[in-house]
Amino acid sequence: MGRPIVGIYAAAAPASWGPWRDRPSVLAPAALATAVRQAGAIVVLIAPDPALDSRDLLRTLDALIVSDPGIDAVQLAALLDRARQAGVPARVLDGARVDPASPAEDFAREIAGLLSEP
């Protein structure tokens, strides 16, 4: 078996880089992606989609992390329920807790635990 695939359900937010200012973007903390890689998995960034109900997409994942702080409670509950129905372990990890200057080991351990769930 290859490396596990972990989807990060990202946030839509304006971002500025290079010549662009406040450009609509899909974002997740880089430290969270680092933690997924440290846990031995491949990162797949999933753009926010209120209608994400494709169990086919969810079944390609070994785990799902929701890092979008702006997701509303109803949408979050529906997303987590769809993941459960697809047999994909899922967690909400507060991306705001990820300090880019600190090591990602705590998140890597949490992700490794998520990947070991049946």
pTM value is: 0.80
Which residues span the domain enclosing 93?
5-115
Condensed to tens digits (0 to 9), the pLDDT of residues 89-103 reads: 988 876 666 655 555
Q: How many domains does the chain have?
A: 1
Cα–Cα distance, 13 to 94 (Å, whole number): 16
Is it the case that residue 108 has pLDDT exceeding 80?
A: no
The pLDDT tens digits of the residues spanning 7-36 come to 998 888 888 888 889 998 888 888 888 888
Tens digits of residue pLDDT in 45-103: 988 876 666 667 888 899 998 887 778 888 888 888 988 888 889 888 766 666 555 55
In the three-class reduction of DSSP (H, G, I as helix; E, B as strand; rest coil), residue 45 is classed as: strand
Q: How confident is the model at residue 111, as a pLDDT?
A: 74
Mean per-residue pLDDT of the chain = 81
CATH number of the domain at 79, please: 3.40.50.2300
**What is the reported pLDDT for 7?**
92
Q: How far apart are CA 30 and CA 95, in angstroms?
A: 9
**Is pLDDT above 90 for 42?**
yes
Q: Read off the tokens for 51.
A: 């209608």
Helix locations, 46-92, DSSP H: 55-59, 73-85
